[in-house]
Structure 1
Amino acid sequence: MSTSAPARESYYVRTGEHRFKPTAHAGGAWDPAEQHFSPLAGLVVHALDRHLADRPGGADGLVVGRVGYEILGRVALDECEITVETVRPGRTIELLEATVVIGGRPVVRARAWLLARLDTSAVADSPTGPLPAPGDLPVWPMDEAWDGGYVSSIEVRRAPTARPGRATAWISSRLDLVAGEESSALASYVALVDTANGIAVQQDPTAWMFPNLDLTIHLYRQPRGAWTGLDTTVSFGPTGQGLTSTALHDADGPVGRAEQILTVRPQPGS
């Protein structure tokens, strides 16, 4: 007698047309009662994909060139609603906006610029060099440095670091983004990018807090594959601000950049 394969675990479960409930795997690193922003960023792209797929003509040959997220407040580990609207329609350039609402309050706004897909392979080039392959780097037990369901759900391979604030790493996850739903390569890739702020820390997170207030991703090539590559630099300024800057890679090479502005402050009691 045949037996069905066990259900795959996921970061979210769909509860309505635009509503999603996070699982424990989406738990945050700073507070287990909050969502880690990484899977939520991927969920927003998943919602953008659905918005495009549901309209006549679909994406019409457009690809995401930039997606920027503004984190407006505490992102509780509660059911959320994501609505998407087309702000600036166009055949070659288009702007979408998504809003994430939890408990009746907007907690994230995201804007995505879509650009026409053209054949520019004859001039495609970047001075950014490739990263070592994931298999060439040792496994890094990130959950020994950070708490939370999300951190426990991912595989991290990181090069030995020469100094605080610099790291090269590959991130992968075997979990589905949304239970029972196929996600695009972009949504799955973006769902791991926000991890950058935790792989190249400047200071011990038990003594200092440095959460990011935003995440901005620029892409000059659409990523593919199971690994998100991060070549990350973290800088702290003298007046409470920080910046996490990352060259983004997939297994074929560089694909773009990500930036995160940080609010730097001592942990209470430190």
Structure 2
Amino acid sequence: MPYFDRADATRFQPTSFTGGAWNVAELHVAPPIGLLAHAIEVDHAARSPQRMQLSRLSVDILGVIAMDDVEVTCRVLRPGRSIELVEATLAQAGRPALIARAWLLHTRDTDALAWSGHPAMPPRDALDRVDPSSAWPGEFIATVGEVRRRQDEPGRAWTWILPAIPLLDGERVSTTARLASLIDIANGVTPRADPREVAFPNLDLTLHLVREPEVGWIGFDTTVTFGATGLGMTHTVLHDERGVVGSVVQSLTVRPNK
């Protein structure tokens, strides 16, 4: 079973696997973000003979998403032959819930220049197998696949995750959209505080990519920061088995339960 079933060209029905962590009766935002990335890539492929690669995906979370049909629409904000800016909206009953803006870039061969100063992820066999559903409720968390983690302290960890559930059945989904459907989990892989005592949902997510990810394991080099006035940030460098893929940053609203 996938995270979504396609109803028509723009509408999608979520399956039970999308159940959220903060509220199990609502959608976890990770699969809808993947759906936006997929829609942007499908829209681009239908319009342009010149393939471009998603470079940045910036998503604002406007509200909760009920366990019901969602509609995804795209519009081009800045057309171009080598650089394009596209906006995608995920709405429910006419109310926008997520708005994403994506930069797409023309690809060229820069293999001779490829380099990153970010440290490599530790090997998977050096990490402990963990069950994220022991800390987080919801079916999405329970279906993310195999998880291995080394945690130096709460809020600082290295995590490898092997996705187990497809975004959609019956149509090709890129490795980029597949990555996008999982990365919001970064905010929960190494909680700085017990989520039963402190809520810290993210208001947004910004993904930057330096290349397309490979199929297989996704690595999260994650640091969580809580400020002194209710603001926070989760920063993650993303890896696959070849090395660095990009990064994702999430703005947090930190709310102690009193």
Fold shared per TM-score above 0.5: yes
Tell me, yes or no, if structure 1 residue 189 matches structure 2 residue 179. yes
Give, as a single letter, the amino acid of the residue that structure 2 aligns with 1:19.
R
1:35 paired residue number? 27
Which moved further from structure 2: 163-172 or 139-148? 163-172
**Is residue 14 of structure 2 the alignment partner of residue 22 of structure 1?**
yes
- How far did residue 56 of structure 1 move? 4.4
CA shift for structure 1 position 136: 4.0
| TM-score, length of structure 1 as denominator length | 0.92
Give the distance between the partners of 2:232 and 2:65, measured in 1 at CA: 21
Residue 13 of structure 1 corresponds to 5
Confirm or deny that 1:204 pairs with 2:194: yes
SS at match of 1:159: strand
| Aligned-partner residue type, residue 224 of structure 1 | E
The separation in 2 between residues aligned to 1:227 and 1:45, in whole angstroms, is 19
Question: In the TM superposition, what are the counterparts of 1:61-100 in structure 2 within 5 Å?
Answer: 61-100=51-90
Which deviates more from structure 2 when the two are superposed, residues 141-150 or residues 220-229?
A: 220-229
1:198-220 Cα distance to aligned partner (Å, 9 max, x none): 01111000011000000000111
Q: Deviations over 1:64-119 (max 9, x none)?
A: 11000000111222110000111111111100100000121001100000111011
Matches for 1:98-113 after TM superposition, within 5 Å: 98-113=88-103
Give the drift of 1:138. Answer: 2.6
Q: Which amino acid aligns with 1:11?
A: Y
Deviation at 1:155, TM superposition (A): 2.1
Question: In the alignment, is the contact (CA less than 8 A) between 2:60 and 2:100 conserved in 1?
Answer: yes
TM-superposed deviation, 1:156: 4.1
Contact 1:158 1:167 in 2 (8 A): no
Checking the alignment, whether the CA contact within 8 Å between 1:189 and 1:227 is kept in structure 2 is: no
Tell me the residue number matched to 2:248. 258
- TM-score, with length taken from structure 2: 0.96
Of 46, 64, 68, the match for 2:38: 46
- 2:124 pairs with one of 129, 134, 143: 134
- 2:193 maps to amino acid: Q
Aligned residue for 1:262, secondary structure, equals: strand
* Secondary structure in 1 matching 2:41: helix
1:218 matched to 2:243? The reply is no
Aligned-partner residue type, residue 246 of structure 1:
T
CA distance in 2, matches of 1:86, 1:190: 20
SS in 1 for 2:186: helix
Alpha-carbon distance in 1 for matches of 2:209, 2:18 = 25
Counterpart in the other structure of 1:161: 151
Asked if the contact 2:45/2:51 (under 8 Å) is kept, the reply is no
Call closer, same or farther: CA 1:180–1:136 in 2, change over 3 Å. farther
Corresponding residue pairs, total: 258
Q: CA RMSD in A?
A: 1.2
Summarize the Cα distance change of 1:246–1:56 in structure 2 as closer, same or farther, 3 Å threshold.
closer
Q: 2:126 and 2:69 mapped to 1: Cα distance?
A: 39
Larger mean Cα displacement after TM superposition, 140-149 or 152-161: 152-161
> What's the counterpart of residue 177 of structure 1?
167
1:26 maps to a residue whose letter is T
Aligned to 1:125: 115
- The whole-number CA distance in structure 2 between the counterparts of 1:184 and 1:21 is 20
Where 2:153 maps in the other structure, the secondary structure is coil
Q: Secondary structure at the match of 1:235?
A: strand
